[in-house]
Structures are given as C-alpha cells and as structure tokens.
Structure 1
C-alpha cells in the first residue's frame, strides 16, 4: 500500500488461521489473493493484511466479510476443493447479485458476492465420440476441458463455458439429445466462434487436423464491400460433420 487509506476506509485485515499454508492456498484459489508464507501476509485488491495464529476463528459469529467473485459456480467449487464449506444454496438478492455464505478451512464465515448475468449461449452438440471430438476442439481452437469422459464434456475458452459435447446415444436423466438417432449428425448446424485472435493459427491447425474446408479464409464483407464486421472467417467441418465457423476479431481487417 503506497498511500495511507482514507479516513474510515478498511486499511488492514487480520484473519485467523491454524494452518498458514492451507489458508494461503484457499484464499489464492478462491479470491486470487497473493500470500507470503514467510510472514503470513497477503495482498488483496485494494487491501493488505496478515493471517494470524493468535486469533480464534470466527465460526458462525462476529463480523462477516463479503468478498466479490467473478463467477458463482467456479468460486463455490474452489471453496470446497480447498477445504472450505458452502452453507446452503446461494440466494438472489433483489435480482442484482448472488449471495452465498461459506466457511474458510478454519471455519471463519465469509460471504461471496457474484454478479447476475444475462443469458449466454452454451451450445451442446450430439457427437459420436465425445473424447475424440473434445481432443479435436482442444487442438484446433485451444479450448480447455472442464469435465472429460466418454459421455459428456464441457469446453472452456478463457475460463468461460462455450461448448458442450454429448454422446448421441446416451440418454442420461433427460432422455435422448437427438430426435432421430439414425439421422446424420451436423446437418444444418453452424457452430460459430468469434473474436478469435489466433485466426491464422486456427487455419493452420484445422489443416493439420484434416478438417474439410467448406469456405476458405475470406473477408466479411468482401474487399471493397465496406466495413460491416470487417473480420476474416473460415468455415470447416468437425469430426461429426458440424460446420465450424471461426471469425477473427471484428475490425481486424478494417478498410
């Protein structure tokens, strides 16, 4: 902290701990804090502090710190994975934010505040071989597996779910994902990925993977056609015949 905080501002925080290493791992994973094991100190956004073995954990009593997180489900998952506990279901606060109460590994009660989001596309494709398709999308587009397995897959881009894969003949609890199990997969469906900075790399990796090209790299709109989205596109097919469209960032080929 380079300047003295304003009068009345929270300027330093001490948190109880029984295990410094465990506390550092928890707060780094859940909130992105930076812990320093030699002195037990930490740096958080706009705040510094220290873990102390001289303080008793505030288990269900005392003030509650409400800390902001970017996404609700990943934060709750990291709480549990790093020795914490989630208390009940999150609640929607006046339609403006999600609130959830958790304990850190020592039992100190914390509050999580997550933003409310509008609808986000999370397409699910019925595929013949989930693991083959997952490896293909990871190789060509650089997506990251968030589930794995032969029946279902979640694929992330920059930590955000952008694609789901489901084996076409597995019903799970929701029944079949295709209305006609014997019909060809991929017909009439375009899976669109925009704002892809590594456009040229995708073109190279798609060629190396042997992906059939539907429309080679081209400008949208064509040269001399004005500036519309002014990006490049390539259309090719994935292993199940779905047409995959990859677009460079809008404005990348401005005229």
Structure 2
C-alpha cells in the first residue's frame, strides 16, 4: 500500500501544534525533534485518523512556510465527526472561514477555513 502524507512547514511549529490539538483534536504521534537552533525539525500529528508531519519553516533548504492570508494552492481534506463544532473552534482560534458549514448532496457536510499558519483545510462529514 502506498500512502501520501502531507508535510507542512509553518512559521511557528510550537504554536501550530497547540492550535491543531485544540481545534482539530489532534494528537502528537511523534514527539517534536528540536534542532540545535531551537526550531522544530519534525513532529507528527493525527486527527480522527488523518495523519500529517510538520516542521518549522526552513527556507535555507527550500521549505518556507506559506504566508498567512495569502492563500494556498493546496487544500487539506479532513473527515471529522462534527463539521460545525470544528469550524466554530477554528474561527474562535483565529481561522478565516472561507466556506461556512453546509450540506452538499452526495458529499456530506463541508466547511473550509484557513488556519493562522497559512494552510487551507476542508473539513467534511460524509453523508
């Protein structure tokens, strides 16, 4: 089996870990690796079965973080039990909601938001 796992670069991995734990209910599955300069070089998280890796930005090795508010060409899709609750937690924690929760025939309930670290998320409860 082949697995595709997103690897996010963020401007502040410690703050992002806290945000994803609080908002998405994520669990740290691989403790942060702290580099000699203090930046997080690697951490792994899981939210409702969705797994991703993350690190602080390292522009010197071509791994910059997106610019918050500038948009992202990539959308991360995460299936969640309660789209409305996740969206409200995200909004309260500083996310910009691009698409309010709504039912979509054949797809389920969906909402889209941009987190404070520049990443775009689509949360979905299949229906």
TM (normalized to structure 1)?
0.42
Change (3 A) 1:193 1:161: closer
Secondary structure, aligned partner of 1:122: coil
1:131 to 1, 4, 14: 14
Identify which range, 126-135 or 183-192, moves more after superposition: 183-192
Name which of 141, 150, 153 aligns with 2:43.
Answer: 153
Shift of the alpha carbon at 1:232? 0.7
The partner residue of 2:56 within 144, 167, 188 is 167
Query: How far apart are 1:187 and its partner, in Å?
Result: 2.2
For the pair 1:203 / 2:93, whether they are aligned, the reply is no
Residue 144 of structure 1, aligned match among 27, 37, 40:
27
Cα drift, residue 121 of structure 1: 2.7
Alignment match, 1:220: 104
Q: Does 1:193 align with 2:78?
A: yes
Task: Determine the C-alpha separation between the residues in 2 that align with 1:177 and 1:161.
Answer: 25
4+ long deviations beyond 4 Å: none
Q: Could you say which structure has the greater relative contact order, defined with CA pairs below 8 angstroms and 6 or more residues apart?
A: 2
Shift of 1:153: 1.4
The residue number in structure 2 matching 1:243 is 120
Equivalents in 2 of 1:143, 1:215: separation in Å?
22
For residues 246 and 164 of structure 1, do their structure 2 counterparts lie closer, same or farther at Cα, with a shift above 3 Å needed? same
Distance 1:183-1:123 versus aligned 2 partners, 3 A rule: closer
Rounded Cα–Cα distance in structure 1 between residues aligned with 2:87 and 2:66: 29
3-state DSSP of counterpart to 2:15: helix
Measured in 2, the distance between the counterparts of 1:183 and 1:164 equals: 15
Indicate if the aligned counterparts of 1:154 and 1:161 stay in contact, CA closer than 8 A: no
1:232 is aligned to 109
Gaps of 5+ in 1: 1-117, 222-227
Q: How far did residue 182 of structure 1 move?
A: 8.5
CA displacement 1:161-192 (0-9 Å, x = unmatched): 61111111276xxxx253xx497476211111
SS at match of 1:156: strand
Runs of 5+ consecutive residues of structure 2 not aligned to the other structure: none
For 1:37-186, what aligned pairs fall within 5 Å after superposition? Answer: 118-146=1-29, 147-148=31-32, 149=34, 150-151=39-40, 152-157=42-47, 162-169=51-58, 176-178=61-63, 181=64, 184=67
